Structure 1
Amino acid sequence: MTELSLSRYPETLAVVRLPAGAEIPLWAESSSVFAITATATETSLVCAGRSVPKKARHQKPWTAFCVDGTQDLATPGVLVAMLSPLAEAEVPVFVLSTFDTDWVLVPTGMADRAEEAWRRSGHTVAPAVPVP
């Protein structure tokens, strides 16, 4: 696997669990990284941590990293290259993929440790990009 170039996002994120079929709350949509995953048993959101009401079932704070550029969906091993160094460094993850790239969220308190693990594995990590 080739070396990856990753970017760190500065916004603190949350992972939120909603009931199956729940409507997406407006508070969840104001985020630089926003994802919805719905199954027959639950709806999960990734959104800005600042937006999540205390009563919502959630975990935070998380920091997001993404692979720079557009990834070909047929390219094998991208997630393995991202996740193996984190597993060795005992950094928990929450993973997202979009059509263009892959995202890894790590607990914010372990974000620097994740960066170090990636650098030791030959990957590069760009400083945080501004939140629009």
Structure 2
Amino acid sequence: MANQTLAALPDTFTIYSLPVNAQIPSQVLNAPLYFIGKTHDELSIVVPQTVKLESDESDHNWRVLEILGPLDLSMVGIMAQIGSVLAAAKISIFVVSTFETDYFLIKQNNLKSAAIALENERYKVIL
């Protein structure tokens, strides 16, 4: 029996770091998919690479593996298990979550290796 199924989203994404007091640019809110995280120290925004932002730092060429859900909030250890598989394969990740599921961002050049590592651990990966 397989573990969860992950599907690669077609777009390539950029992770931006902005000052904590920066306004969220309107093009972010108009993007088809975006993630925003804000702490006391920074504002992080993940958007398709076609959306260009002025930022303190940015990191390009990320692909997204979505855990097909919805996942119940009471489920335990899903991110840890997938993260462990990818860590053992020496693949760096950036993780974001929504109410219904989790998303693993993986560098474009590591996507195939990530899929192989996950499939070897009985996850289904749709590229």
Report the equivalent of 2:15: 15
Report the equivalent of 1:93: 93
Report the equivalent of 1:43: 43
| Corresponding residue SS for 2:105 | strand
Aligned residues: 125
Higher strand share: 2
Check conservation: 1:38, 1:44, Cα contact below 8 A.
Answer: yes
**Residue 92 of structure 2 aligns to which amino acid in structure 1?**
P
Q: When the two structures are superposed, what TM-score results if normalisation uses the length of structure 2?
A: 0.92
**Residue 95 of structure 2 aligns to which amino acid in structure 1?**
V
Check conservation: 1:91, 1:114, Cα contact below 8 A.
Answer: yes
**Residue 15 of structure 2 aligns to which amino acid in structure 1?**
V
CA distance in 2, matches of 1:48, 1:30: 11
The CA deviation at 1:85 is: 1.1
CA distance in 2, matches of 1:76, 1:67: 14
Report the equivalent of 1:29: 29
**Residue 18 of structure 1 aligns to which amino acid in structure 2?**
L
CA distance in 2, matches of 1:30, 1:47: 10
Deviations 1:53-81 (A, max 9, x none): 4x532001100001112111111011012
Report the equivalent of 2:117: 117
Q: When the two structures are superposed, what TM-score results if normalisation uses the length of structure 1?
A: 0.88
Report the equivalent of 2:72: 72
Structure 2 residues not aligned, in runs of 5+:
none
Identity %: 26
CA distance in 2, matches of 1:81, 1:122: 12
